[in-house]
Structure 1
Amino acid sequence: MSISFEGQVAIVTGAGNGLGRSHALELAARGAKVVVNDLGGARDGSGASSAAADEVVALIKENGGDAFAHGANVAKYDEVQDMVKQTMEKWGRVDILINNAGILRDKSFTKMELSDFQLVMDVHVMGSVNCTKAVWDIMREQNYGRILMTTSSSGLYGNFGQSNYGAAKMAVIGFMNTLVIEGHKNDIRINALAPTAATRMTEDLMPQEVLDMLVPEAVTAGALTLVHKDSPNRLILAAGAGGYASAHLYETEGVFLPQEKQTADHVQATLEEINDPAGQQEFIAGSKQGEKFLGKAMAYLQSLK
């Protein structure tokens, strides 16, 4: 195996089933020591059980690897801190964090209770924030870290009945984008995975012949690409059924309107030019947008001289 995780320690959340289980097993097969985190709840977040995580740990150990289970609820920072504390006491470092834990509370927005919106945000967004915060200074001191966010096409593009899930999955992209900037000098790289796989989340949404193609292992191949020592940085990788693609946010070149034309009427009249994809860019920081617009304004002032 050319990609190896020998000597590294990985924390995988939501690792009792589905994608997280697949990630944990493959990391261990390639030499990583793995913390198998799973609250053990149903896919809507209800209930708790250690059975699934314990089974994954047992499989890893049977195959000669090293792992332990922890049932931290990622939405509760004190429980996440305890998980990381136990990891440091046992192995002394954390090299990889895969933020995979998630739940679904699908309903159209008009029928959705705000409590269901809040819970999904707490698990996906604050769960990723809590786990990342708990390992961030450890990775900074090591001058090494690899963090994976789990996003979704529902967040990137939208999906009926998933306003809560979509909002959460887009939020982790914004979180990633800033962490990439802040973690750069300490070789902390952050990427995002947009998976399509047959898991508990999708088992009643697709016909069986399609589900048979959507094996979690196909997605895990992408996940491991994003957390090894030579990983990219700030990449959104879509993966599923053997297909792999990258997703990007671009901004068009746009237009400049002098002050007397900065009205809704003139903006409306120039929408076609505003939307023109020629010269569009992928920015690596929010400040780049301001630099572009100020550059256009400066160029306009120079043209008046």
Structure 2
Amino acid sequence: MSIRFDGRVAIVTGAGAGLGRAHALELGRRGAKVVVNDFGGGVDGTGGSSGPADKVAGEIRAAGGQAISNGADITNREQVENMVASAMEEWGRVDILINNAGILRDASFAKMTIADFQKVMDVHLMGSVICTKAVWGHMRDAGYGRILMTTSSSGLYGNFGQSNYGAAKMALIGLMNTLQIEGEKNNIRINALGPGAATRMTESLLPAPIVALMTPESVTPAAIYLVSEDAPRRTILNATAGGYSRTIIHETDGIYLGPADQSAENIVARFGEISDEAGQSAYTNGGQQVTKFITKAAQAAGVSLAPKATG
């Protein structure tokens, strides 16, 4: 099966270099019309230049594809809305959004300023929210959309010196989960990519032999799948140096404590049972967790959960 994007329009943020550039070039190679967005700032988000986005858009056109560049700051709602409007004016639709843009302002939590924490949250989380909000109505009206969030192992598992980055990246998983529920009826599918690549944001942290393995191009195949017509839903797909895996969040079955036994001491005493992974489940909405616990409580109380007969 060959994955193609002929007739589709894609917006890729942070596409002037690294992962975004690789995603944009591959989408263009596979037939998509691409809006190459990049603010053109430094790794820490300062500065700004249209040069990187212009260059990548030119590469796509030189290879026979269609692309326009855009220098919108993704934290600026007006600029983002203008970017989406330009795509609609140029091609009449927006089918794909890859939220890739990001910055780093690393420091231990003790040394990190609130301003640096806020800025990273603004770019990664609110930037993704603003861009997604700007395309949502168009996708809903068209009955088609593919949106990709970019998460990270720092968010899923933690990483020293990246409390701001990790918090933002994990927040995107919560955003994905809820948007998939809301977008389902309009054929909008939302997924998350957990990449590991040597880019401007990471190459200074890694030894040269490792940098050579962790290419952006080794991550892009996962992104292409997650925004394709046959994409899955609310999937976290990780990709690093040619390795691909899926992160699934499970919840243990847990226990029930009656009213007289609901104490911290009893939780301590039975924490092994609470933590037992046998019978654990991966939920697709928060109501499933509530249903599980209510069912246990009702069974212990002898209460029927069957709906009342009418008529």
The TM-score by the shorter chain falls in which range? over 0.9
- Matched residue, 1:225: 225
Distance 2:296 2:290 in 1: 10
- What letter is aligned with 1:198? A
- Matched residue, 2:187: 187
- Matched residue, 1:175: 175
Distance 1:285 1:221 in 2: 28
Distance 2:115 2:211 in 1: 31
- What letter is aligned with 2:119? L
- Matched residue, 2:216: 216
Deviations 1:54-107 (Å, cap 9, x if unpaired)? 110110110111111111110111110000011101100000000000000000
- What letter is aligned with 2:206? M
- What letter is aligned with 2:246? S
Q: Helix, strand or coil for the counterpart of 1:260?
A: helix
- Matched residue, 1:45: 45
Distance 2:214 2:249 in 1: 26
Equivalent residues, number:
304
Distance 1:108 1:238 in 2: 25
For residue 302 of structure 1, report the CA deviation from its aligned partner: 1.6
Q: Runs of 4 or more off by more than 2 Å in structure 1? A: none
- What letter is aligned with 2:212? D
- Matched residue, 2:89: 89
Q: Could you list the runs of 5+ residues in structure 1 that have no partner in the other structure? A: none
- Matched residue, 2:128: 128
Between 157-166 and 266-275, report the one with greater CA deviation. Answer: 266-275
Q: Helix, strand or coil for the counterpart of 1:158?
A: coil
Distance 1:74 1:262 in 2: 47
- Matched residue, 2:75: 75
Distance 2:57 2:192 in 1: 25
Distance 1:53 1:81 in 2: 18
For residue 278 of structure 1, report the CA deviation from its aligned partner: 0.2
1:280 aligns with 2:276: no
- What letter is aligned with 2:109? F
Taking structure 2 as the reference length, what is the TM-score of the superposition? 0.97
Distance 1:270 1:201 in 2: 44
Alignment of 1:2-17 (within 5 A): 2-17=2-17
Distance 2:147 2:237 in 1: 13
- Matched residue, 2:27: 27
Q: Helix, strand or coil for the counterpart of 2:31?
A: coil
Distance 1:45 1:104 in 2: 8
Calculate percent identity across the aligned residue pairs.
Answer: 60
- Matched residue, 2:261: 261
1:206 aligns with 2:199: no
Distance 2:204 2:198 in 1: 10
Q: Could you list the runs of 5+ residues in structure 2 that have no partner in the other structure? A: 304-311
Distance 2:78 2:276 in 1: 49
Q: Helix, strand or coil for the counterpart of 1:149?
A: strand
Q: Helix, strand or coil for the counterpart of 1:278?
A: coil
- What letter is aligned with 1:271? F
For residue 204 of structure 1, report the CA deviation from its aligned partner: 0.8
Distance 1:76 1:296 in 2: 47
Deviations 1:152-199 (Å, cap 9, x if unpaired)? 000000000000000000000000000000000111000000000110
Q: Helix, strand or coil for the counterpart of 1:212?
A: helix
Alignment of 1:49-60 (within 5 A): 49-60=49-60
Give the root-mean-square deviation of aligned CA atoms: 1.0
Taking structure 1 as the reference length, what is the TM-score of the superposition? 0.99
- Matched residue, 1:146: 146
Distance 2:122 2:74 in 1: 9
For residue 20 of structure 1, report the CA deviation from its aligned partner: 0.1
Distance 2:170 2:138 in 1: 26
